[in-house]
Amino acid sequence: MNSNLKIGLFSIGLDAYWEQFEGLKERLEGYTTVVEENLKRTGNEVVNLGLIDNSNKAFDAGLKFKQEGVDIIFLYISTYALSSTVLPVVQRAKVPVIILNLAPEEAIDYTAFNQLKNRKKMTGEWLAYCSACPAPEIANVFKRVGIQFHEVVGILKDDPETWNEVQEWVDAAKVANVMSYNRLGCMGHYYSGMLDIYSDLTAQYAAFGGHVEIIEVDELSELRKEVTDVQIDQKVATFQDVFDIQDDCLESELKRAARTAVALDVLVDKYQLGSMAYYYKGMEENENYDTLSSIILGTSMLTGSGIPVAGEYEIKNAQAMKIMDSFGVGGSFTEYYALDFKDDIVLMGHDGPGHIAIAEGKTRVKPLEVYHGKVGNGLSIEMTVKNGPVTLLSIVEDGKGGLFLLVAEGVSEPGPILEIGNTNSRYRFSIGARKFVQQWNSHGPAHHCAVGVGHISSKIKKLASLLNIECVQVC
């Protein structure tokens, strides 16, 4: 489904000014073009309705934005304007609004301004710098009528801070849009007794939109029967290119994993999945047992290619992983392994699929005699998240039927890990391992979370604002 972002842009002014101050309207329209050019640099479509200067135009603009299906509106304040010029636009469009309160330059040239002598010219010049003036009026009206808005305050030109912030809002809006179209596949059932991961699917719809497709493991098992030897050989060759396959991996196990990986590709294509959560207990000597015990390489490749897969039927974490991946930072399935009090480090990782695109070096493939806590045995992956800054994200049910985002920033550090054929990384947090665990747990998240590379908490907070849900940052 099409999840491309469409940005709406309009600027505001007061039509009474144009006859009074020659050249003012054209000057402000030039400023609006600067805003449009910067928004286009984000790589998204921009619907620019230009300068709206009276309420009649405002009603038409709101209808136009609605017809165009814009996902977010940037309102550029070019000079003073009546709030009645603004309200009809956003009321009809019914999408998040970002107010751009941007001065045309760093400061007014007071000397040149005061040398104009002609007070009419002086007023016209002042009005070209008057972007801050109507911002409180607009905010007041938006608050009183229940319109959600956010404000960027800065300089129109030569201000990287301003346009970096705008870029973050665009990135957050794009992720919100991706989630609203995302098709999440849920295959199998919950891990019996793991109460923290039981999820309210309707709450997921309420917060993010999208679609949930319930899928039977039997279907994947049937698709495995249709896989040809040629397809298996091709997939094994791909495995050898993508992974660092250890010498003790049997060829028969590689082919078994390849058969499942090919079938997974078909399943994902059939349901147009953008993410997936799975778990199935299974019984030995059963087709589904064979399927699920050979799924890790295929699901890891899907995860690394933008279709994150969460094990243990962890739906909330599949959503968190999709958010992180949509921000372009990965999003690997993880949980606490242990605490290293000597080095003040938290060891985190998980069995099952990992996000191989954010691995430090090539992801290793190892055979496991047993999948701990689960039935079966087979091939598994072992990787460490790239060294450097990381962000953790958990989607948390608040106990009142709603969701909130829990986030923390840390650093993935080199050092010894548990070489047990699972993902495993060493994370350092600014507040220390002990306080991090205490504060993270105090918010009641499930024991899984998603980890991505880079520090992106400011983007995640903007996403939460656009979704109208809370975001809590631990560090």
Q: Is 403 helix (H, G, I), strand (E, B) or coil?
A: strand
Q: Per residue in 337-362, pLDDT tens?
A: 899 999 999 999 888 899 999 999 99
DSSP state of 234: H
Same-domain check for residues 274 and 370: yes
Same-domain check for residues 415 and 378: yes
Same-domain check for residues 170 and 191: no
On whether residue 81 sits in a domain, the answer given is yes
On whether residue 1 sits in a domain, the answer given is no
Same-domain check for residues 274 and 170: no
pLDDT of residue 283: 74
Q: Per residue in 187-206, pLDDT tens?
A: 999 988 989 999 999 999 99
On whether residue 445 sits in a domain, the answer given is yes
DSSP state of 319: H
Residues paired with residue 427 on neighbouring β-strands, in sequence order:
346, 412
**Residue 85 — φ and ψ, nearest 5°?**
-80, -20
Query: What per-residue string of b and e applies to 365-381 under the rule 16 or more CB within 10 Å gives b?
Result: bbebeebeebebebbbb
The yes-or-no verdict on residue 210 having pLDDT over 70 is yes
Same-domain check for residues 173 and 198: no
Same-domain check for residues 169 and 35: yes
The residue out of 144, 179, 214 marking a domain boundary is 179
Rounded CA-CA distance 71/388 in Å is: 33
pLDDT of residue 1: 53
pTM attached to this predicted model? 0.94
The lowest-confidence range among 121-135, 140-154, 381-395 is: 121-135
Same-domain check for residues 285 and 410: yes
Same-domain check for residues 290 and 393: yes
Same-domain check for residues 465 and 367: yes
pLDDT of residue 120: 84
- Mean of pLDDT over the chain: 94
The lowest-confidence range among 107-111, 179-183, 403-407, 445-449 is: 107-111
Q: Per residue in 212-238, pLDDT tens?
A: 999 999 999 999 999 999 999 999 999
- Beta-carbon contacts of 427 under 8 Å, excluding residues fewer than 6 positions away, are 345, 346, 347, 348, 390, 410, 411, 412, 413, 451
Same-domain check for residues 209 and 299: yes
On whether residue 235 sits in a domain, the answer given is yes
The residue out of 154, 179, 204 marking a domain boundary is 179
Rounded CA-CA distance 230/157 in Å is: 58
On whether residue 103 sits in a domain, the answer given is yes
Q: In what order do the strands lie in the sheet with 309-310?
A: 211-215, 183-188, 275-279, 309-310
Same-domain check for residues 69 and 10: yes
Residue 282 belongs to a domain with what CATH number?
Answer: 3.20.14
Q: Per residue in 117-135, pLDDT tens?
A: 888 888 888 888 888 999 9
Residue 91 belongs to a domain with what CATH number?
Answer: 3.40.50.10940
On whether residue 163 sits in a domain, the answer given is yes
Q: Per residue in 242-299, pLDDT tens?
A: 999 999 999 999 999 999 999 999 999 999 999 999 999 877 778 888 999 899 999 9
- Beta-carbon contacts of 209 under 8 Å, excluding residues fewer than 6 positions away, are 179, 180, 181
β-pairing verdict for 388-397 and 449-453? antiparallel
The residue out of 179, 211, 228 marking a domain boundary is 179
pLDDT of residue 324: 98
Q: How many domains does the chain have?
A: 2
Same-domain check for residues 96 and 214: no
On whether residue 447 sits in a domain, the answer given is yes
CB 385 within 8 A of CB 360: yes
Structural domain boundaries enclosing 16: 6-179
Q: Is 460 helix (H, G, I), strand (E, B) or coil?
A: helix
On whether residue 159 sits in a domain, the answer given is yes
